[in-house]
Amino acid sequence: MITPPPLVKGDTIGIIAPSRKVSENDLVDAVNLIESWGYNVEFGKSIFDEKHQFAGSDEDRADDFTSMMKSLNIKAILCARGGYGTVRILEGLNRKVIQQHPKWIIGYSDITVLHSFINQTVGFETIHATMPINLKSGTVVGDSWQKLQHILSGGMVDYKFPSNEINRMGKSTGMLVGGNLSVLYSLRGTFCDLDTSGRILFLEDLDEYLYHIDRMMMNLKISGKLKGLKGLIVGGLTDMKDNAVPFGKTAQEIIADAVADYDFPVAFNFPAGHCEPNLPLILGRKVILDVQTDEVKLEFFA
């Protein structure tokens, strides 16, 4: 995987909205923060357009992404928010053009579509990280943003976090891939369907029924997506829902059961996803996952 070049002060970060609509007011605090880092900000041409729930038409959103990828002035692309809609622009993206201009693509949730697209068909690293919609006036600018700035400027990150009683101990090395479970599930059978063999998979999700989590994990298991993993990291499983007749397991227990037949290390409660902090992860980068009884270490290769 190609590592996009680091940013220097004076560089420009482009902001686009590839899915749900967004207002300029939603972005003020993030723009101020980015400018305080010494970078400039440029908005996509259609970023504040509206077409029902989307930020303009599928064609315009695809053109925004491609135009910013081609632009020599834009050094990184930050997605304003998630929601739903990124999958609708996939057919409008020119892979050859995008491949010629590697730069950091940043976002999470619905932006998992772009991470998977870049990973599977283009071949450079991306950053699973917080987005402008998450930064509101009065919010403390913590590790989510500070570590993102560190990565963009060429810095390295390694993480340690407390172990969980349902973790599976072990140490392994592999390329880190993944993102939002529901979005990854929706890409099954497409040209963006992730190759997970020999890789370390990261999963997170929001606002799902427990039986939906089970259905998606069973799909990954039966299709062989879990069998060849080197490791599994589970982030935020936020605001999970149950039916009147309880499913009988937590979301973590569902995932643990789905991978019970394998022996790769498994780490729960990594602080990334629809949670705070939402620590940035370099997808497409080789990592070492070391799950111990008292703590978990995630180390990124240089």
Q: What is the pLDDT of residue 302?
A: 86
What is the percentage of the chain residues whose pLDDT exceeds 90? 96
Residues 66, 105: Cα–Cα separation, whole Å: 12
219-226 contact pairs (CB < 8 A, 24+): 219/185, 219/188, 220/185, 220/258, 221/258, 221/259, 223/188, 225/194, 225/196, 226/196, 226/201, 226/258, 226/259, 226/262
Average pLDDT, the chain: 96
Q: How confident is the model at residue 141 (pLDDT cuts 50, 70, 90)?
A: confident
Q: Is residue 138 predicted with pLDDT exceeding 90?
A: no
Q: How confident is the model at residue 154 (pLDDT cuts 50, 70, 90)?
A: very high
What's the pLDDT tens digit per position in 237-295? 999 999 999 999 999 999 999 999 999 999 999 999 999 999 999 999 999 999 999 99
Residues 232, 125: Cα–Cα separation, whole Å: 19
Q: What is the pLDDT of residue 280?
A: 98
Task: Please choose, from the candidates 204, 202, 253, 189, the residue with its C-alpha nearest in 3D space to the C-alpha of residue 229.
Answer: 202
What's the pLDDT tens digit per position in 65-115? 999 999 999 999 999 999 999 999 999 999 989 999 999 999 999 999 999
What's the pLDDT tens digit per position in 205-238? 999 999 999 999 999 999 999 999 999 999 999 9
Q: Is 151 helix (H, G, I), strand (E, B) or coil?
A: helix
Residues 283, 195: Cα–Cα separation, whole Å: 13
Q: Is residue 48 predicted with pLDDT exceeding 80?
A: yes
Q: Is residue 137 predicted with pLDDT exceeding 80?
A: no
Q: What is the pLDDT of residue 119?
A: 95
Please report the beta strands in the chain, taking only residues with DSSP state E, as ranges in sequence order.
12-16, 40-43, 74-79, 104-107, 126-128, 158-162, 170-180, 199-206, 231-238, 266-267, 281-283, 286-291, 295-300
Domains annotated on the chain, with CATH: 12-152 (3.40.50.10740), 158-300 (3.50.30.60)
Q: Is 299 helix (H, G, I), strand (E, B) or coil?
A: strand
